[in-house]
Structure 1
């Protein structure tokens, strides 16, 4: 079964309890979802352009259709980067939702002043933002923080540009204005043009953290700024010297470069590498809700997003759905012997579990992924002695401690799987071997991981 084809099976099993809970509440028909008496939106999503430009409107439209609303359509709301999603209920009344995609920061502001029901974010909530919303509750709790898809930040150039790959350091130097001509890296004698998202963008925040910040750089003053991913990509595709960055779904006619980080191999923003979050510029896409007070529409929408239908929309929109599928890795001489054996005899699954520094506690996404993994193994007859867990750590001064922590993390995943009736064949801790990122703070988070393999 291919990666995309597995979306429905995996997510259907993983979200079965939540979906059943909705039907127990009797919220399955359009009559339960009356239009607002004053005609105001029944659901308001503010925030990330990456989430809001395409994905959120399509997800709302999918929910409306699933609820039996008629004549569902998406249309501009009269202001740039804002859209209404409308439908007609079973009594002939219009129902509408609003998506305002002006940047991740505006979503948290909307939650705070209660002009938004959900904040769309293309990065995790910042400590300062969580503190400003503390009156609502714990914004990092499972009730608030929802990972809805995986995205990759693609570094894009004109299709005719001969350069195929760049390191994170080189990308940072480009955008800091330190590389002025493509011939410095083997390209044509063409001046470099910088194209970047604006300061309200979660895409820019992620780029600033993963690229510029990791190298101690700041964005060059000559960069053209954009509120929209698609507009940026369209411009880059027509300019010979252009370089920019966009969400994975917005590469369009531009060319995406392979990226290296530290000692990693060049990695293109492929489906599998983004799904495992190994690609250096991969990221999670989020929705944040009030953890205590959510309207029926908000609760239903969040459940729909995680459902088979919702994740299928994620997939069709060009992002990576939270599904699990096997991939075959080629054996490489640089792999340690136990890993070479796995690559020869087994397949790796497109799910990774990652941890905070010094921690073996699963985050919100990992908790959902445990359920998905259990159901994947069950549906493929691999619950008994077929799965292998391989833990990794980040480079530290104490290799023995790193190796121990990497194995402890694998043991933590094994413990959670055992609660679902899975008997793991083997666990292994490979310490700081096979890094997928540099030893920067963001890179260390990526390197601290548990991979899942199946025979």
Structure 2
């Protein structure tokens, strides 16, 4: 139930971020440059990142560059190699002739897990969660789904894009599936011009393709054989931007002046891939960006890099490269006619925080991202002097057999987050459930449970 809501109170947000006081704190050059130079291995690279092109094209090189700069490396260069979609980031250590170099091979998410298995890479970048068969192949290196091995480094959204002149602005996820499977072949079937639809898709090695296949096509619909396939998001977007009859999907960092489609899932309201909708994973095609490591990884530089990627500064790099960071921000509630008046009354005087807590098993066990987001929420509250009583948690349920059961489940989810926050030293008094209303996805299967079964965070500012 809703507990102890105080009258509205305004505070001034601090503009200068504080350092995380927990494991999310960046390495602040505690080692001297000389010491760092002496630590460099005899091999050519400090470590290697293999896998997703979505991550490897821009995000990973810039994150590595920021990490090296944090270590005191100067004259940092990001350069491509003779091999397509491979990059080397290197810099010079002051007062030393030694170079610090990191190699990034971005040939698709599946290639990252192969590199972990054969030892050629220390970090596997993936723009989708690891698959069961990959978990099994890598089980000798630990539980790849655990918080120790699975690291969420940012959030992305798959944008469904068309030529800028296309009049279609909104589609359901189910209609998009019919388009890419070839069941809908002409734009006039969707209210557009009388033109045959041209399909553009990522290739089979791509995590972007895996995500689209999972979230949109599902197991029942294949991609139409006429679709043109691409290894690169940017190349795909350029092709769509030059084709008035084209439609494709790409990461939000690679939309290239195209028309971006608002997407709904079933009867849910259509959402654009805005930063808030992606950060909270409310957007139907939001996805997490992962890096996976072995439990027994001995490479100290790869360990430091992973830790840096989760800090405030590391997440700022995510923002700078066009993706959505996990650093928490605020947003004024939307004035949307489809939002129930009872909900508008509930959140009156509050602002939405850019984080949702979701669950990995059953209805109360927080997933890996949520565990780290607890620390981010504590940091946000502390750095902006937000009292415990000015935070409100709102839980939601997936579709249930009756409203009472849905209400109880939604309250239990909010209580679960409240309890986890209390273990970190803060007592949130205001929490409630909103039942099975305001769904984000169709309710069939695990995907609907994951999307709809969430806890929002609101703050009185």
TM-score above 0.5: yes
Task: Indicate conservation of the 8 Å contact 1:117/1:294, yes or no.
Answer: no
**Which segment drifts farther, 424-433 or 55-64?**
424-433
Question: Contact 2:159/2:251 (CA < 8 Å) preserved in 1?
Answer: yes
Per the alignment, in what secondary structure is the counterpart of residue 58 of structure 1?
A: helix
- Residue 8 of structure 2: aligned partner: none
Q: 2:162–2:259: 8 Å Cα contact kept in structure 1?
A: yes
Comparing 26-35 and 114-123, the one that deviates more: 26-35
Structure 2 CA distance, aligned partners of 1:121 and 1:27? 31
Query: Contact between 1:7 and 1:321, CA under 8 Å: does it hold in 2?
Result: no
Distance 1:281 1:342 in 2: 28
1:52 is aligned to 2:56: yes
Aligned to 2:25: 19
**How many matched pairs?**
446
TM-score normalised by L of structure 1: 0.93
Matched, 1:284 2:288: yes
Give the aligned partner of residue 396 of structure 2.
Answer: 392
- CA deviation profile, 1:57-97 (whole Å, cap 9, x unmatched): 11111112222222211111210111111112231122211
After TM superposition, list the pairs within 5 Å mapping 1:48-197 onto structure 2: 48-90=52-94, 91-197=96-202
Report the Cα distance in structure 2 between the residues aligned to 1:435 and 1:322, rounded to whole angstroms.
23
The superposition leaves residues 239-278 of structure 1 with CA deviations (integer Å, 9 ceiling, x where unpaired) of 0100000011011121211001112111111111111110
CA 143–294 in structure 1, closer or farther in 2 if over 3 Å, else same = farther
- The structure richer in helix per residue is 1
Higher mean alpha-carbon deviation, 250-259 vs 375-384, is at: 375-384
C-alpha separation between the residues in 2 aligned to 1:163 and 1:18? 43
Contact 1:374–1:383 (8 Å) recurs in 2: no
Residues 299 and 245 of structure 1: is their aligned pair in 2 closer, same or farther, counting only changes over 3 Å?
A: same
For 1:396 and 1:16, the matched residues in 2 are separated by: 38
Gaps of 5+ in 2: 1-12
Q: CA deviation at 1:30?
A: 5.7
- Partner of residue 233, structure 1: 237
Asked whether the equivalents of residues 6 and 324 of structure 1 are also in contact (C-alpha less than 8 Å), the reply is no
Report Cα offsets for 1:184-232 as digits up to 9, x if no partner. Answer: 1111111100000000000000000000007x21100000000000000
* SS of residue in 2 equivalent to 1:199: coil
Contact 1:330 1:343 in 2 (8 A): no
> In the alignment, what sits opposite 2:17?
9
Relative to 1, partners in 2 of residues 1:338 and 1:411: Cα closer, same or farther, differing over 3 Å?
farther
Counterpart-to-counterpart distance in 1, 2:34 and 2:156: 32
- The Cα shift of 1:42 comes to 1.3
TM-score, normalisation: structure 2: 0.92
Residue pair 2:14, 2:384 contacting (<8 A) in 1 also? no
Relative to structure 1, the CA distance from residue 448 to residue 254 in structure 2 (aligned partners, 3 Å threshold; closer, same or farther) is same
Q: Does 1:450 align with 2:455?
A: yes
Residue in structure 1 matched with residue 419 of structure 2 by the alignment: 415
- Separation in structure 2 between the aligned mates of residue 6 and residue 319 of structure 1, nearest angstrom: 24
Q: Is the 8 A contact 1:35 1:42 kept in 2?
A: no
SS, match of residue 417 in structure 1 = helix
The Cα of 1:421 is off from its aligned counterpart by 3.2
How far apart are 1:27 and its partner, in Å? 3.9
